[in-house]
């Protein structure tokens, strides 16, 4: 069961809403957010931008192919989210990262995951992508503050961990097909993920009994789920749950926003979560290790 949480109540009743999302993260790691504050027109503009991009000729998209900084186009067949399966994912994707100018000292200094974004030559694309990125980032920081409350930490506990984060906005497109896998079974890598889908079925979550359950679609809502970084940070108090996308009957689009901490954030058991089960690790090191495993598609 994935609970539906009306986020517009968070301002007036922060502790109540924090307890609701905390419970969801302890039980399944998934919730559906309505009243989340990402404007409808921002979401619509992002879908339009994504459609425009995916319709470009492959040669055009290949000019901004995904690189070590996790920005750009991932062509169909270049990813395998289920590292144990022999199947590659039938999807294509485009990633936008934390936006910086080329002369930013963090880029010049070689900080991990700091880079300029790779933009297609499409009118309005950059504004639409960054508009969605900013709105999702704001919501993500607000969800992190609820997590702090749920864990009896000061509400601003995470602020310094997400003010220049390794966040990735990812446009996804799954081609229509007959059977097979759109995105292999996986748990996400980061702290939290905010996911919008276009209503075409396919997303499934692995239940505790080992059965795959369809995630119900709610127009305009955002699915929020936690990733392995937050599971580790919370000393396994929260659970990141496996999910997958079946190859859809019709073309399916979705927009994911992966919120990973600042690169130099140290991920070690949060105060009050008991004896640490894992050694400390920097958020950048953790993300790198997970991305490397996903992209290691044998020839």
Ligand X SMILES: O=C(O)CCC(=O)C(=O)O
Identify which of residues 93 and 270 has a Cβ nearer to ligand X in the complex: 93
Cα 156–Cα 162–Cα 165 angle in degrees, nearest 5: 175
Q: Which residue is nearest to ligand X (CB)?
A: 254
Contact with ligand X (CB under 6 A): which of 31, 43, 192, 245? 245
Contact with Fe ion (CB under 5 A): which of 89, 150, 188, 198? 188
Coil vs helix vs strand at 92: strand
How many other β-carbons are positioned within 10 Å of the β-carbon of residue 145? 21
How many other β-carbons are positioned within 10 Å of the β-carbon of residue 153? 16
Q: Indicate the burial class of 238 (C-beta count within 10 angstroms; 0-12, 13-18, 19 or more).
A: buried
Q: Considering only the stretches 19-27, 43-51, 66-74, 195-203, report the one whose residues sit in contact with ligand X under the rule CB under 6 A.
A: 195-203
Query: Got the DSSP string for 165-203?
Result: -EEEEEEEEE---SSSEEEEEE--SSSEEEEEE-S-S-E
Q: Which of residues 159-188 bind ligand X (CB under 6 A)?
A: 172, 183, 188
The CB-of-89 to ligand X minimum distance in angstroms stands at: 9
28 binds, among ligand X, Fe ion, none (CB under 5 to 8 A by kind): none
| Adjacent-strand bridge partners of 181 | 246
Asked if 150 interacts with Fe ion (CB under 5 A), we say no
The CB-of-60 to ligand X minimum distance in angstroms stands at: 23
Q: Convert 26-75 into a string of H (helix), E (strand) and C (coil).
A: HHCCEEEEECCCCCHHHHHHHHHHHHHHHCCCHHHHHCCECCCCCCEEEC
Identify which of residues 188 and 228 has a Cβ nearer to ligand X in the complex: 188
172 binds, among ligand X, Fe ion, none (CB under 5 to 8 A by kind): ligand X
197 binds, among ligand X, Fe ion, none (CB under 5 to 8 A by kind): ligand X
Q: Which of 74, 49, 50, 80 is nearest to 61 (CA)?
A: 74
Identify which of residues 72 and 184 has a Cβ nearer to Fe ion in the complex: 184
90 binds, among ligand X, Fe ion, none (CB under 5 to 8 A by kind): none
Taking a C-beta distance cutoff of 8 angstroms, is the pair 233, 191 a contact? Answer: yes
Contact with ligand X (CB under 6 A): which of 254, 262, 265, 294? 254
Contact with ligand X (CB under 6 A): which of 243, 247, 288, 290? 243
Q: Which residues of 30-65 are buried (b: 16+ CB within 10 A; e: fewer)?
A: bbbbeebebeeebbebbbebbeebbebeeeebeebe
Asked if 203 interacts with ligand X (CB under 6 A), we say yes
Which tokens belong to 212?
Answer: 């795959």
> What does the alpha-carbon distance between residue 293 and residue 299 come to, in Å, rounded to a whole number?
14
Identify which of residues 32 and 145 has a Cβ nearer to ligand X in the complex: 32
Asked if 197 interacts with ligand X (CB under 6 A), we say yes
The CB-of-193 to Fe ion minimum distance in angstroms stands at: 6
Q: Considering only the stretches 15-23, 51-59, 126-134, 180-188, report the one whose residues sit in contact with Fe ion under the rule CB under 5 A.
A: 180-188
> What does the alpha-carbon distance between residue 232 and residue 230 come to, in Å, rounded to a whole number?
5
The CB-of-2 to ligand X minimum distance in angstroms stands at: 13
| Binding region for Fe ion (CB under 5 A) | 188
| Binding region for ligand X (CB under 6 A) | 172, 183, 188, 195, 197, 203, 243, 245, 254, 256
């Amino acid at each position: 069961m994935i609970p539906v949480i009306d986020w517009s109540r968070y301002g007036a009743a922060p502790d109540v809403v924090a307890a609701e999302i905390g419970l969801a993260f302890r039980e399944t790691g998934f919730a559906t957010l309505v009243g989340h504050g990402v404007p409808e027109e921002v979401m619509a503009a992002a879908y339009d931008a994504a459609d425009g991009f995916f319709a470009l000729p492959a040669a055009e998209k290949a000019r901004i192919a995904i690189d070590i900084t996790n920005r750009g186009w991932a062509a169909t067949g270049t990813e395998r989210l289920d590292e144990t399966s022999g199947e590659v994912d039938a999807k294509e994707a485009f990633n936008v990262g934390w936006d910086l100018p080329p002369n930013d000292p963090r880029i010049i200094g070689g900080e991990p995951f700091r880079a300029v974004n790779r933009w297609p030559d499409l009118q309005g694309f950059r504004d639409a992508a960054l508009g969605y990125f900013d709105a999702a980032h704001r919501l993500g920081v607000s969800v992190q503050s609820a997590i702090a409350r749920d864990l009896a930490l000061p509400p601003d506990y995470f602020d310094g961990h997400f003010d220049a984060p390794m966040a990735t906005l990812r446009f996804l497109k799954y081609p229509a097909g007959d059977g097979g896998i759109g995105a292999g079974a996986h748990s996400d890598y980061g702290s939290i993920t905010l996911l919008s889908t276009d209503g075409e079925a396919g997303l499934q979550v692995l239940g505790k009994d080992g059965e795959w359950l369809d995630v119900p679609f709610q127009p305009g809502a955002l699915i929020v789920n936690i990733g392995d970084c937050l599971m580790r940070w919370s000393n396994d108090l929260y659970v990141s749950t496996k999910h997958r996308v079946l190859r859809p009957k019709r073309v399916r689009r979705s927009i994911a926003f992966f919120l990973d901490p600042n690169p130099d954030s140290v991920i070690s058991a949060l105060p009050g979560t008991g004896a640490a089960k894992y050694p400390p690790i920097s958020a950048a090191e953790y993300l790198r290790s997970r991305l490397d495993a996903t992209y290691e598609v044998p020839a």
